[in-house]
A and B are shown apart, each in its own frame.
Chain A
């Protein structure tokens, strides 16, 4: 009945010196869906992300990606399997140009990155593909700018373009619309919708209108535990979720 799971966790737990940030989370992300992870501040969403991409090691539990156990892999290896993340604060290479930002991702796929004796001219044949990726997200006219000069919203767009350069099977987006104005939010939401066509997306997101527009499935976390799961309709009617988000008074 349900689709095949691309990413699964079993009893995922992370403790920091006695504080349990993520506790016994069983997450199941289905292939080809947009799955949102929501919850109040401190619910453990970002920790969960860091665990899934191995930037943190779990205290307990297992992570399976495409049926393989990835619990003990290094973060770079997880990325190489096609599970690529973004960060809550914009993750660009600030003093490289936009073209170079995207190209550094293409270069990883190309290989030969330890060749210190070769001229970087050998990378020029990646420029065309890099420009194409920038054009896809509407940044082509800025390709010579250094990333630090971009306004915030466009940095996030650049970040997604860089991620897409790896052609990942699954994207993990940590608050892709945080700190953005309406116009930028709409652009990012449309972009996520578009790139999810042949990919799986797991995102942490606070903006509930974005969540309701995009997500196929929502998991609500509070205090490190899963509180509710389902589509927007189901989750938004759940009294416990309403309480966690708005407090009892408004319920």
Chain B
């Protein structure tokens, strides 16, 4: 019994680990120089999806809740953001905030209904609510139905910085992403995050210690929905478009795939997962419908061979936190 402790995780006292800090520095450095050799539009798209996946991961990776309706927040935030920028003429930062706030509001309603149930029932309720709002988006006049909201003006950030300029737009998106990413990191490593992990590990025990777990789950759900909305709202400004694709259930499925591929419950996994999937969609576009088949095969491989996801397997092999 006196054997040395085969500790799986690095010591936890006192916040961030060195490996996380190094990985973060590498990630930021990559994003700063990337537009010099990678198409910026692709990078911006990937960054929006990376934030979306990180927000989704907050729920599944750290609370153990599988939402199968996260397109609801991503897509509806993009509609509100596009509509606010185009029809109300709001500056981009306010349009994006309006989108994220809408997603947060929807998250309160959907979350309050869904967190009363566990496991598959939770997933089904989130899916049902998302589908309901999808059909609403199809019918409602202001979403533009099949056409979506097109020609959304990018506008001037704080009335000063012209986002029509690709470099300005890119660094704005990067800032939004990093802000969201760091906020999620902080949430995970906060007193609140500690309770979330306890709930994920053993909810009944958390209750028996006096935690009202449903309230914690609801707050986490709303935070996740708001951040998913932040990603969707930003994407609408980048692409000057909000469309049905982003509220469709396949979008909810894609974010699950991104997170699984990168690594559930890892900080950097969803970012890498999102980049991989978006890259595949972009560069394999020549294969047409086969892209979906390829994604399916990757999903099967992922589940069968590396369940922890790419980052999860690396972290496990090197015994570090990522």
Contacts and interface: CB of A to CB of B under 8 A. Distances in A.
B187 A93 contact: no
B208 A75 contact: yes
Count class of interface residues, chain B: 35 or more
Interface string A91-115: 1111111011001110110001111
B191 A107 contact: yes
Given A76-B212, A95-B201, A104-B198, A117 B190 contact: yes
Contacts of B212: 74, 76
A120 interface: yes
Interface in B1-50: 1-2, 5-9, 11-15
A57 to B, nearest CB: 14
B202 A116 contact: no
A238 interface: no
Nearest to A145: B5
A117 B198 contact: no
Nearest to B11: A144
A94 B9 CA distance: 12
Interface in A44-88: 53, 55, 74-77, 79-80, 84-87
Nearest to A109: B210
B165 to A, nearest CB: 33
Interface string A111-145: 01111111111111001000000000000011011
B213 A76 contact: yes
B219 interface: yes
Count class of interface residues, chain A: 35 or more
B190 A144 contact: no
B208 A117 contact: no
A87 B216 CA distance: 22
B211 A76 contact: yes
B191 A113 contact: yes
Given A97-B12, A145-B5, A120 B193 contact: yes
B307 interface: no
Contacts of B156: none
Contacts of A145: 5-7
Contacts of B195: 104, 107, 113
B135 interface: no
Contacts of B197: 93, 95-96
A120 B194 contact: yes
B210 A121 contact: no
Interface in B174-229: 186-187, 189-195, 197-198, 201-202, 204-213, 215-216, 219, 223
B190 A115 contact: yes
Interface of A: 53, 55, 74-77, 79-80, 84-87, 91-97, 99-100, 103-105, 107-108, 112-124, 127, 141-142, 144-146, 149, 151, 162-163, 166
